[in-house]
Amino acid sequence: MPDPSDLLMLRDKLRAFAEARDWDQFHSPKNLSMALTVEAAELMEHFQWLTGEQSAELPPEVKQAVGEELADILLYLLRLSDKLCIDLREAALHKLEKNALKYPAEQVRGSAKKYS
């Protein structure tokens, strides 16, 4: 899990970036969630038509492009969580705890099927 101060630093840089460009007016939760989805789709483009093995062994230039898409996703996610006053680190830790209860390791180990 990232250091909370790292996430706060990124959040603050994003706030300043948007403020300097007068973009806060465009950063509604609706718009940010849509932008996040667009970036996720752009990430998926890099893996379209690849085999599982090929997707794990990307050429350096593709890996760099994937890193940029991941950064876009992270930045939009942080901006959205900021606009909604959601502590992303706390929400992620809570979700991990919830998933640990929902998917006990001894019952789901090695299976991709949804446990119920």
Whole-angstrom distance, CA of residue 68 vs CA of residue 74 = 10
**Which pTM value belongs to this model?**
0.88
User: When comparing pLDDT for 2 and 112, which is higher?
Assistant: 112
Structural domain boundaries of the chain?
4-85, 87-116
Provide CB contacts within 8 A for 70, sequence distance 6+: 43
Mean pLDDT, to the nearest integer, of 41-58? 98
What are the φ and ψ backbone dihedral angles of 28, each rounded to 5 degrees?
Answer: -75, 155
At residue 1 the predicted structure's pLDDT band, cuts being 50, 70 and 90, is low
User: Which CATH code for domain 4-85?
Assistant: 1.10.287.1080
